[in-house]
A and B are shown apart, each in its own frame.
Chain A
């Protein structure tokens, strides 16, 4: 009886400790979510106090909205390139940095450096490089191709953003790959080598299976990052030229705050959220699988 009372008291203490955080989280995160869901069923323009409940009309309209599908298409293409790029580059760089070479620590620091600056800062730096640095070099060397700002063409701008994202995005995955590589027992590699395995076979049959859990995390993190692309676009192109780089998050922002279609923009954000939820669930599932391997 005394023990039960003590447990209740302890639970109450714990509850009181978490109460402030839970209250704040409820007010500032959970309540706006439900408010957002509610507004997605209205034609609220952000100004008028009188708005109508229009059911699923915003969601239905979305399916015939070319601009929305253009953004979906851009985000999907971008995400594929980002995931492939980050995964392959981080494995490649991780393998190279795992070699016994002189100045190993310097290279590791150099590859990690982009991770310490924010995406927006990185974007603004490259905005200057693309706009002034590279054209200046192009003029000096007389190379016509370099004299143009890459962000001024529809295709070039997409790759320009992707490059900056890869430059920054590869840093942490490289560290993850490097740490995964260092967990591979050295004796396994040595015995495989003694059995005559060449470097390709070593990678395919020994190293790669050990890297799989890490690769799965890298893929899922970058899937999310690609779908929620905003900072780089904002810093480099603000969605241009001619909406070629208008990502879903840029579209939501523009439609809410520039075009005053808050209800519709919130409906779009709900749809994007559902996709991200699916990815998040996948991420949690994948993380748990990793624990099983361990």
Chain B
């Protein structure tokens, strides 16, 4: 009998342990394991060398595509600064960063974003105040403001800004004698011509819910209504409905209409499938951020492509939409030596030679003063940013958790293609998420 009770008790503890330990003890393996999931949500690579006499610093980056670039930059920095050892841990998505914070293990040097979650972390005093650092003078104030808290402290330094646009395969366009579209109607007319010629006009990577959300919010903010974030807040906090805004309804209907020009199911492709499709000329156009350029050109260096502003849907002036992309923060919990080492690295990283090389390889428009590099394929987007045709992504102001909620629900819109039903659901979850703030 006693044995049975012992066995039952052990089973109880094991079952509890299997699910309840997702609090502080979780994710301790992140730093040293390398595992991939379908969504690529937790890919971790570590490359490090350490020396007992040096100041050791961990750099947690969230850009997997930049692992090799940072390996090179870090190696050069460490060669010039023999007393500092920086190891790079790379993870895709913010899950690892938030789990590190939850377990009170903030990396000394972190790649962060300007979203609400990181602002909350900063408000909790997790990051060193960078206010007064000389390198901030080389970044435009409007971008520094995104990382400035109410008390005037600055929790990160942004070095570039991602943007969104319409990727066009110029070879296909030239073969078909098509002009680059300036309006939504011209875009649809081009799609019809391509379809008639047996060419797939569009491909979408909407199997990846995060990519769908990114596409949607940037389309809505950039070419449907620049006040998209404000509208979300009005629905969430003031009891309005997205259906009350004609721009929202029109934007949704025209977004859905684009799906008719993709030959495969839009939910069947993920980001890699899309890259394969576009880079190899299987479709004429894709909607994506500028981070896609290096992947497409990597797959097909001869790809003749151009990234242009997505044509206006509701008659407003089109803008590109984005967020500060590579933003560096220093842990407030790091030792004084480690913080100095981190600041030394940031200074080195922002040196013209380094940052220009990084901009050239990464293909994301730099915002550091004096960086003149332009990627030919992304010229239109870079010019748009420079000319002020830029809207900040609503993710920078959305309530905590809204990003994750909307991306799950958006797939319903793609599956059901029912704008009215989606607006009802959209209203509901927007109110729910904002009510919890």
- B: residues with CB less than 8 A from A are 4, 7-8, 11-25, 35-39, 41, 94-95, 98-99, 101-102, 117, 120-121, 124, 126, 207, 209, 264-265, 267-269, 273, 400-401, 403-405, 408-412, 414-416, 436
Q: Closest A residue to B410 by CB, please name it.
A: A242
Q: Closest B residue to A269 by CB, please name it.
A: B19
A-B contact count (CB 8 A): 183
CA distance A148 to B266 in the complex (A): 10
Q: List residues of A (24-54) whose CB comes within 8 Å of B's CBs.
A: 28-30, 32-33, 35-37, 39-40, 45-49
- Chain A residues contacting B94 (CB-CB under 8 Å) are 258
Stretch at the interface among A90-98, A173-181, A201-209, A233-241: A233-241
CA distance A148 to B8 in the complex (A): 47
Do residues B23 and A266 form an inter-chain contact, with CB atoms below 8 A? yes
- A: residues with CB less than 8 A from B are 28-30, 32-33, 35-37, 39-40, 45-49, 120, 123-124, 127, 131, 135, 147-149, 151-154, 228, 234-243, 246, 249, 252-254, 256-262, 265-266, 269-270, 272-273, 276-277, 280-281, 283-284, 288
A70 → B minimal CB distance (Å): 11
Q: Which 4 A-B pairs have the closest CB atoms?
A: A36-B20, A259-B401, A149-B268, A242-B412
A67 → B minimal CB distance (Å): 9
Do residues B18 and A228 form an inter-chain contact, with CB atoms below 8 A? yes
Do residues A269 and B22 form an inter-chain contact, with CB atoms below 8 A? yes
Q: Closest A residue to B21 by CB, please name it.
A: A32
Majority-rule SS of B interface residues = helix
Do residues B120 and A243 form an inter-chain contact, with CB atoms below 8 A? no
Majority-rule SS of A interface residues = helix
A-B contact pairs, 15 of them (CB 8 A): A36-B16, A36-B21, A46-B98, A46-B99, A148-B264, A153-B415, A240-B209, A241-B411, A242-B409, A257-B99, A258-B401, A276-B19, A277-B16, A280-B8, A280-B11
Given contacts A46-B102, A234-B39, A277-B12, contact A265 B124 (CB under 8 A): no
CA distance A135 to B269 in the complex (A): 12
Do residues B7 and A48 form an inter-chain contact, with CB atoms below 8 A? no
CA distance A33 to B16 in the complex (A): 6
CA distance A234 to B20 in the complex (A): 19
- Determine which of B38, B95, B265, B436 lies in contact with A257 in the assembled complex, contact meaning CB atoms within 8 Å: B95
A134 → B minimal CB distance (Å): 11
CA distance A131 to B38 in the complex (A): 12
Do residues A151 and B99 form an inter-chain contact, with CB atoms below 8 A? no
Do residues A32 and B408 form an inter-chain contact, with CB atoms below 8 A? no
A292 → B minimal CB distance (Å): 13
A37 → B minimal CB distance (Å): 7
Given contacts A124-B38, A260-B401, contact A281 B267 (CB under 8 A): no
Given contacts A33-B16, A48-B120, contact A234 B8 (CB under 8 A): no
Do residues B38 and A33 form an inter-chain contact, with CB atoms below 8 A? no
- Chain A residues contacting B13 (CB-CB under 8 Å) are 29-30, 33
- Chain A residues contacting B409 (CB-CB under 8 Å) are 242-243
- Determine which of A36, A235, A260, A280 lies in contact with B12 in the assembled complex, contact meaning CB atoms within 8 Å: A280
A242 → B minimal CB distance (Å): 4
Do residues A254 and B404 form an inter-chain contact, with CB atoms below 8 A? yes
- Determine which of B8, B267, B436 lies in contact with A284 in the assembled complex, contact meaning CB atoms within 8 Å: B8
Q: Closest A residue to B96 by CB, please name it.
A: A257
Do residues B265 and A152 form an inter-chain contact, with CB atoms below 8 A? yes
